[in-house]
Amino acid sequence: MSEVNATASSSAARSLEDYQNSKRTTSSTLTQEDFLKILVAQMSNQDPMEPTSNEDFLAQMAQFSALESMSSLSKSYASTQAYSMIGKYVYIDNGSSVVHGVVSGVVTEDGVNYLLIGDQYYDASKVTGVMAPLDDDSQQILQGANLIGKTVTGTVTNDDNTTSAVSGVVSKLIVKDGAVYAVVNDQNVPISSITEITG
């Protein structure tokens, strides 16, 4: 009977160990928590006949304070970098593809900064390139590029200053007199006048 219990408890211990191993992540740097665990373990296991000197503990505490300060500074720097990208055009390595667009906001969650591009959030540490803020024309061209091949409805101003509705497939974009137009049925429809877009 005791043999069965021993086997069961050994099996339970093994599964707990497997669970802990599955949750353990390897890291090349020590965290503040790791440092404190080492310090507590050292204090608990020191030789009572030859205890560690106060100077050694003070030196270790100074190292811990320096580590804490560096960690705080690093997080602050990462946040500053993320916020400095607002309004800029960035490229992000999203694993299987590269995402690009203008950063419209930043959210910090669990110490990680996420950039808002369109309606999606991306890890700021995955940024591979940053460009200066785009001027209005460039932003309109980027936004309008998604219209090519889609059916749109917009208005155009005629020579007699009346307006008329135009519907059709966008064949290309052009920039004329500082404005961006979608070419629909050989007519230049201002991007700003488009009221309907269908796939």
For the chain, the structural domain boundaries read: 29-83, 85-131, 136-198
Rounded distance, CA 10 to CA 6, Å? 6
Q: What CATH number does domain 136-198 carry, 2.30.30, 2.30.29, 2.60.120, 3.30.70?
A: 2.30.30
Give 118-129 pLDDT, tens digit per residue. 888 888 888 888
* Reported confidence tier of residue 9, pLDDT bands at 50, 70, 90: very low
Sheet holding 196-198, edge to edge: 187-190, 179-184, 163-176, 151-157, 196-198
pLDDT tens digits for 42-57?
777 777 777 767 777 6
| pTM over cut 0.75 | no
